[in-house]
Amino acid sequence: MARIIALQTHDIRFPTSKTLDGSDAMNPDPDYSASYVRLRTDAADGLEGHGFVFTIGRGNDVQVAALRALEGHLVGRDVAETLDDLGGVWRELVHDSQLRWLGPEKGIMHMAIGAAVNALWDLKAKRAGVPLWRLLSSLSPEEIVDLIDFRYLTDALTREDALALLRSAEPGRAERETRLLAQGYPAYTTTPGWLGYDDDKLAKLCREAIEQGFTHIKLKVGADLDDDLRRLRIARDICGPDIKIAVDANQRWDVAEAIRWTKALARFDIAWVEEPTSPDDVLAHAAIAKAVAPVPVATGEHIANRVVFKQLLQSGGLSVLQLDATRVAGVNENIAILLLAAKFGVPVCPHAGGVGLCEAVQHLAMFDFVAVSGSLDGRVIEFVDHLHEHFVTPVDVRGGRYLAPAAPGAGTEMYPTSIAEYTHA
Of 6, 19, 28, 174, which one interacts with a second copy (CB under 8 A)? Answer: 28
The reply to whether 96 sits near a second copy by the rule CB under 8 A is: yes
Four-residue CA torsion sign, 260, 262, 263, 267: positive
The least CB distance from residue 282 to a second copy, in Å, is 6
Give the residue ranges of DSSP H helices in 278-407: 282-292, 306-314, 330-344, 357-367
Of 46, 155, 171, 241, which one interacts with a second copy (CB under 8 A)? Answer: 155
Of 6, 19, 29, 399, which one interacts with a second copy (CB under 8 A)? Answer: 29
Of 31, 71, 385, 396, which one interacts with a second copy (CB under 8 A)? Answer: 31
Nearer residue to a second copy within complex by CB, 156 or 219:
156
Ranges within 240-279 binding a second copy (CB under 8 A):
251, 254-256, 277-279
Of 63, 82, 319, 412, which one interacts with a second copy (CB under 8 A)? Answer: 63
Ranges within 317-356 binding a second copy (CB under 8 A):
none
Instruction: Give the DSSP per-residue string, 221-249.
Output: --S-HHHHHHHHHHHHHHHTTTSEEEEE-
Of 15, 45, 62, 267, which one interacts with a second copy (CB under 8 A)? Answer: 62
Of 65, 128, 223, 376, which one interacts with a second copy (CB under 8 A)? Answer: 65
* Catalytic annotation present for 351: yes
Task: Measure the CA–CA gap between 410 and 39, rounded to whole angstroms.
Answer: 14
Q: Which of 35, 29, 68 is nearest to 424 (CA)?
A: 35
Amino acid, single-letter form, for residue 402 = Y
Amino acid, single-letter form, for residue 288 = I
Q: Which of 10, 110, 124, 351 is catalytic?
A: 351
The reply to whether 417 sits near a second copy by the rule CB under 8 A is: no
Instruction: Give the DSSP per-residue string, 164-195.
Output: HHHHHHGGGHHHHHHHHHHH-EEEEEEEEE-T
Nearer residue to a second copy within complex by CB, 125 or 153:
153
CB 176 within 8 A of CB 367: no
| Cβ-Cβ contacts under 8 Å for 10 (sequence gap 6 or more) | 34, 35, 36, 37, 38, 64, 419, 423
Q: Which of 216, 218, 220, 285 is catalytic?
A: 220
The reply to whether 103 sits near a second copy by the rule CB under 8 A is: yes
The least CB distance from residue 241 to a second copy, in Å, is 34
CB 404 within 8 A of CB 366: yes
Task: Measure the CA–CA gap between 246 and 22, rounded to whole angstroms.
Answer: 16
Size of the site for a second copy (CB under 8 A): 61
Nearer residue to a second copy within complex by CB, 106 or 363:
106
User: 3-class SS at 89?
Assistant: helix
Task: Measure the CA–CA gap between 108 and 129, rounded to whole angstroms.
Answer: 31
Stated as kind and residue range, the H or E segment containing 51 is strand 48-55
Of 3, 5, 27, 393, which one interacts with a second copy (CB under 8 A)? Answer: 27
Stretch near a second copy under the rule CB under 8 A, chosen from 104-112, 197-205, 331-339, 344-352: 104-112
- Chain positions contacting a second copy, by CB under 8 A: 26-31, 55-59, 61-63, 65-66, 68-69, 96-111, 151-155, 251, 254-256, 277-284, 287, 302, 304-305, 307-308, 310-311, 314-315
